[in-house]
A and B are shown apart, each in its own frame.
Chain A
Amino acid sequence: MKLERELMRGAGPTAVLKLLSRRAMYGYELVEALAAQSDGVLAMGQSTLYPMLYNLEAKGLIEADWRDADNGRQRKYYALTGKGKSKLKADEKAWTKLTQALGDLGVVKGAPA
């Protein structure tokens, strides 16, 4: 199941920030991780991912640098900035409240009441 565009626009950046909070990752790795760890719900192609990364970078939430990979090629790794960490914390709180509110309304099944 894929999310509608508007939902994805809200959830996607938070999901990316969350992944990057664990460690620096490169584009292909992020695409794969989003698909695998969200059971395909938050899967996005590079056509969506890279513009999103550039936006987050423009806002100063993430930073990027090119590094040598094991196979001898170069990859661009993205990492969370201090500002990005604060933003992620705020997003997590907001999503928790949202999920709770939707649970209270019975929209989200099994959410804490």
Chain B
Amino acid sequence: MSNGFTNAWGWSIRHSPLMAMWRSTRSMIHPNKNAFALLEAAALPEPVDAVIRTTIARTKLWRDERAHIARELIAHAQDSLDAGRDPHQVADTFGDPRRVARLMRRSMKRKRPFSWQLYRCSRRVAAALFLIVLAGYVTLAVRFYSGSPYIETDYFAVLSAHDSAYGPEQRSWPVIAEVGHRWDRESSRLINTHTSLNSILAARPGDAGYEDLVETVRAMEQDLQQVREAAKRPIIGAPKGYELEQVHEEGVSWTVGIVPADEEAYLDHTLIGALLPQLSWTRRLSILLAFDARLAREEGDTDRVVQNLISIAHLARQCSREPYLISSLVSMAIDGMFAKEIALILREDPNLFSTGQIAELAHANAMTQEADLNLETERMLFDDILQRAYTDDGSGNGRLTPEGAELLAGLQGIYWRDANQTNSSYQVMESVAMPTMLLLMNDRAEERAIYNSILDRNKLVLAQGPRAIGWMSYDQQVLEWRAEQRLPMISPAEMVAPAMGSSVQQVFLHRMRDQAAAAMFAIEVYRNEHARLPESLHELPASLLPQQPQDAFDLGNTIRYIKGDYGGYVLYSVGADGDDDRASPPTEYVDNVNDLMMRYPFIITQDDSGKPLVERDASGQPRLGSPLGPDGDWILIDTRPAPDDPQAP
């Protein structure tokens, strides 16, 4: 029993993976040592000794295996010699040492421990897998590096044609560029000198640098007059280009315009790369006009106040005519500033405007187109990227190209690449890794289909109104679900989807703000005519307010109106929680307080595969969940003086 136990232990140790590893390792050093020692001791005739020696050496087995074979072959040779055979004859019967060694090696390896067999098997499997992967990679690399894009449509020409019907006298661009550059320099100097002037409209008398700001703005009166005139023109009409016109003054580069691009330049630049300094200039000139309106009020120059405010509305209108989604957003921001500035003036000086002036302002407010998004240009921008990034098989499909990978890398935030890396080993690694993008990215048709479905859904939601806003979050969940079903896909279309959804939301909110502004003008005319504020919005005649302003957070109901305790009034929406808190803004901090998705959340479940599903009512309309927004209202227009305000009684 004890002996059997000991033998079992001995076998286990001899055949353990550790021992196999030790035997293998030991054989790397003097592998023939033991075998040759046996041959020395046997003292066989030279030809026999030589053939056994050569055979042993060629087996390439472990040291103890070689010794084992040597011992057996020596015994065999000695038996042959004892039988009277000639040494040369004995040596000949051993056969070709190379062939014998190969046969010995194969058969001896079959006797090796299971752990070694397993290791050899897994090594072969790994090698086979490596070869398969390598073959797959080579195929992928050939496919990737043999692809090249084909630029079929000149979207630049399409976009340039947008303004072609307008002559130079119908464009505000030259003035915007000239005064915009001048105001850039002046505002930069002001901020560098007085950090408190970081926000011009937040500056108040007594602030450090306020007097400097006032003097600077007054010195630009002629420039402002040019802007007021230019704002009346139909469009901004800036040239389309990819390069800024710059001047260098005292070590600082200033943008003074855009270098108009020709058709050839278009071949080297994406449409999305077109530069739009006109948007930031328009916005900053609107701020300048708003500040000058405050100065004009202090000076008692109400006409200038009104002209400045109307000019701001005109600039918003011009921005909305620019064919980009971003220009729609800038237009809404400028338009919002227009209404807010008027409300601030009314808070401090409710009787400033005459009925005629209010009518002018109301007309300017109505003149701005109803907020919308230029989504078709977005489609063009994306198609332009696709045609530069993918091959074209003639039927609308294609695969990513090396140029496309570079292009997507250049579009910051669209994918992972560090475009600033110049390290050569990094670039080699990147070249090796790039073909795998074919596995990680959708083909052209699928990418376009995703983008179009997102875009079309945005258009549909814009048409259907805030109640349909839940489709945005549903689409986002579908995209996430799709990503979970596949390899970690990189999809530019999926990445831009959320940003577009938030733009749709901005449109709804801005439309409501616009209606609130219209109500404000109607109230002001009413006050001038009746020497009192209306008790409710319904008291306003249709001639002043043709349509009651609708609350986007309380569909079917009007925006709320409350008169202030010390004069003035407030126009407000019930906000994301959907209930009326009597014009109390939310006290709880949450991201995006005025989020329509919080007010009208879809009830989204999942099907068996985990795909999001929208619950619908009997009529097929999406069912809405309970509002998720914070308690509190959203103040749209507030002309109420604060209790400590000199205007308060």
Contact = CB atoms under 8 A, between A and B. Distances in A.
16 contacts: A26-B79, A27-B79, A28-B83, A29-B79, A45-B94, A46-B93, A46-B95, A46-B100, A47-B94, A47-B95, A47-B96, A51-B106, A52-B107, A54-B104, A71-B82, A76-B71
Given A51-B103, A71-B82, A46 B73 contact: yes
Given A28-B80, A76-B75, A55 B107 contact: yes
A75 interface: yes
B76 A45 contact: no
A48 interface: yes
Contacts of B108: 54
B110 interface: yes
Contacts of A47: 94-96, 99-100, 103
B78 interface: yes
Contacts of B71: 74, 76
Interface string B430-441: 000000000000
Interface string A69-112: 00101111000000000000000000000000000000000000
Nearest to B78: A73
Interface of B: 69, 71-73, 75-76, 78-80, 82-83, 93-96, 99-100, 103-104, 106-108, 110-111
B93 to A, nearest CB: 5
Interface of A: 26-29, 31, 45-48, 50-55, 57-59, 71, 73-76
Q: Can you list the 9 inter-chain pairs with the closest CB atoms, starting with the nearest? A: A54-B107, A28-B79, A47-B95, A58-B110, A51-B107, A51-B103, A47-B100, A58-B111, A55-B107
A74 B75 contact: yes
Nearest to B93: A45
A97 to B, nearest CB: 28
Nearest to B101: A47
B75 A28 contact: yes
Contacts of B94: 45-47
B76 A27 contact: yes
B112 to A, nearest CB: 9
A75 B111 contact: no
> Taking chain A's interface residues, is the majority helix, strand, or loop, or is none over half, making it mixed?
helix
Nearest to B96: A47
B180 to A, nearest CB: 88
A26 B103 contact: no
Contact of B72 (A27, A52, A58): A27
Contacts of B73: 46, 50
A87 B76 CA distance: 27
B103 A48 contact: yes
Contacts of B99: 47
Nearest to B82: A71
A59 to B, nearest CB: 8
B23 to A, nearest CB: 16
Contacts of A74: 71, 75
A86 B78 CA distance: 34
Contacts of A52: 107
B103 A46 contact: no
B78 A54 contact: no
Given A47-B99, A57-B111, A71-B82, A26 B104 contact: no
A45 B111 contact: no
A67 to B, nearest CB: 11
Contacts of B96: 47
Contact of B75 (A55, A58, A75): A75
A27 B73 CA distance: 9
Q: Which one of A27, A53, A59 has the greatest number of beta carbons of chain B within 10 Å?
A: A27
